[in-house]
């Protein structure tokens, strides 16, 4: 078994879960009202608000219907009404494409103006550079959008790391807990599954990758919600990966 390709999860694997849950998501939520106000003339933002409105119309959950009624009663402006709906989607943790798009735009703005810098594990940057120098092909597979993945690696304390990666995959490729997604990735990066090593902190994801024939390592860290490697080989630091490649 020769490993030529590393496929890396982000959250819990190269970056602390807390950065995503305690920095990125709160930043997007807190910035939402001002961001919409400041960009209300941008066509991209108007389109996002229109799409949110359409999603709301099609959303037949009682909460969303009630929210529609009350915002109509208050005669709220289009922007404020749709903002309230987007905030509702955040509160119920709905996986909404329009919300993801908007969060991506807010993060992009936050990184560019220096209000956010991504936090990686202490050894992540050196490990990525070491593997890249060893001519391993590096790819990302994360449930965050490809836009969000690139932003995260572009704006690290150690500079822009985007160039270290050859391929980027998000849930457009498929669910991270299904073996077919890993088969798609194997075809896309044009490698044999036995030459690929996938690293993730999630047991279901490791199981799915293994079913597809890809090698796995389970990232076990303090602060990760899943602490059960379920038979996958365990690493406690990215430095441990080198023993398997």
Whole-number minimum distance, CB 4 to Mg ion, in Å? Answer: 23
How many other CB atoms sit within 10 Å of the CB of residue 94? 15
**Does 101 sit near Mg ion (CB under 5 A)?**
no
CA gyration radius, the chain: 20
Nearest to Mg ion of 12, 104 (CB atom): 12
Give bridge partners of residue 198 from the DSSP assignment. 7, 216
Nearest to 205 by CA among 232, 184, 187, 224: 232
Whole-angstrom Cα distance, residue 167 to residue 139? 5
As measured in angstroms, the least distance from the Cβ of 224 to Mg ion is 8
**Strand, coil or helix: what is 191?**
coil
Angle between helices 25-38 and 78-91 (to 10 degrees): 170
**By CB under 5 A, is residue 9 in contact with Mg ion?**
yes
12 binds Mg ion (CB under 5 A): yes
Q: Which residue is nearest to Mg ion (CB)?
A: 12
Q: Does 11 bind Mg ion (CB under 5 A)?
A: yes
| 226 is a site residue for Mg ion (CB under 5 A) | no
Number of residues that bind Mg ion (CB under 5 A): 4
Question: Site mask, Mg ion, residues 194-213, x = CB under 5 A?
Answer: -------x------------
Residues in contact with Mg ion by CB under 5 A are 9, 11-12, 201
């Amino acid at each position: 078994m020769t490993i030529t390709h590393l496929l890396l999860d982000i959250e819990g694997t190269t970056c602390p879960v807390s950065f995503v849950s305690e920095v990125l998501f709160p930043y997007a939520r807190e910035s939402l009202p001002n961001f919409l106000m400041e960009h209300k003339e941008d066509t991209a933002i108007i389109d996002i608000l229109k799409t949110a409105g359409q999603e709301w119309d099609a959303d037949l959950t009682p909460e969303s219907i009630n929210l529609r009624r009350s915002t109509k009663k208050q005669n709220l402006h289009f922007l404020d009404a749709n903002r309230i709906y987007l905030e509702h989607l955040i509160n119920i943790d709905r996986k909404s494409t329009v919300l993801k798009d908007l969060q991506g735009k807010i993060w992009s703005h936050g990184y560019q103006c220096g209000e956010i810098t991504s936090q990686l594990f202490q050894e992540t940057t050196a490990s990525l550079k070491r593997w890249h120098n060893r001519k391993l092909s590096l790819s990302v597979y994360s449930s965050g959008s490809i836009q969000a993945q690139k932003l995260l690696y572009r704006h690290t304390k150690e500079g822009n790391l985007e160039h270290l990666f050859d391929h980027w995959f998000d849930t457009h490729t498929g669910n991270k807990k299904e073996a077919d997604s890993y088969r798609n990735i194997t075809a896309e990066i044009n490698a044999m599954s036995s030459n690929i090593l996938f690293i993730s902190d999630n047991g279901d994801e490791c199981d799915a990758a293994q079913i597809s024939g890809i090698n796995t390592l389970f990232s076990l860290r303090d602060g990760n919600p899943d602490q059960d490697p379920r038979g996958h080989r365990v690493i406690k630091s990215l430095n441990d990966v080198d023993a398997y490649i």
